Copies of this chain bind each other. A is one copy, B any other.
Amino acid sequence: MNPPAPPVSAAGLMGEISFDAAGLVPVIAQQHDTGEILMMAWMNRDAVVETLETGRVCYWSRSRAALWRKGETSGQVQRLVELRLDCDGDTMLALVDQTGVACHTGRRSCFYRAARDGDWQVIAAVEKSPDELYGER
């Protein structure tokens, strides 16, 4: 999985991706060398093309209804190492190199709650405060 994937043309790849009724496909982001699952988010067609062509991961923000260049505000960018597609073509796996933390709470991974003893227990510490990530700079 190294060296980093060079920018590639997306044209030949788009036809195999099954976007849902909203024009979106879920994308799992995994740290390429450690295997950590960092987050899951969504891409539309433009986000897939931008991600492949720039080598920097771009999602579609459903809440803002806009392209979401990961790290644009927080500095916590994801460099694309390799994009993978599942058997049905309706889910993607992005192997990435994550700068800093992936989660807006300041944790490395968004999946920081584990079902233990009948409750969701927080199993990861905040590494950067949200103020540091999103505050005035």
Contacts and interface: CB of A to CB of B under 8 A. Distances in A.
Interface in A25-53: 26, 28, 30, 34-37, 39-40, 52
Contact of A40 (B26, B34, B83): B26
A40 to B, nearest CB: 4
B37 A28 contact: yes
Q: How many copies of this chain are found per oligomer?
A: 2
Contact of A114 (B34, B82, B88): B82
Interface of A: 5, 8-9, 11-13, 16, 26, 28, 30, 34-37, 39-40, 52, 82-88, 91-93, 103-105, 107, 110-120, 123
Given A5-B116, A16-B120, A28-B28, 13 more contacts: A8-B118, A9-B118, A11-B118, A13-B118, A28-B37, A34-B35, A84-B114, A85-B111, A85-B113, A86-B111, A86-B113, A91-B111, A93-B111
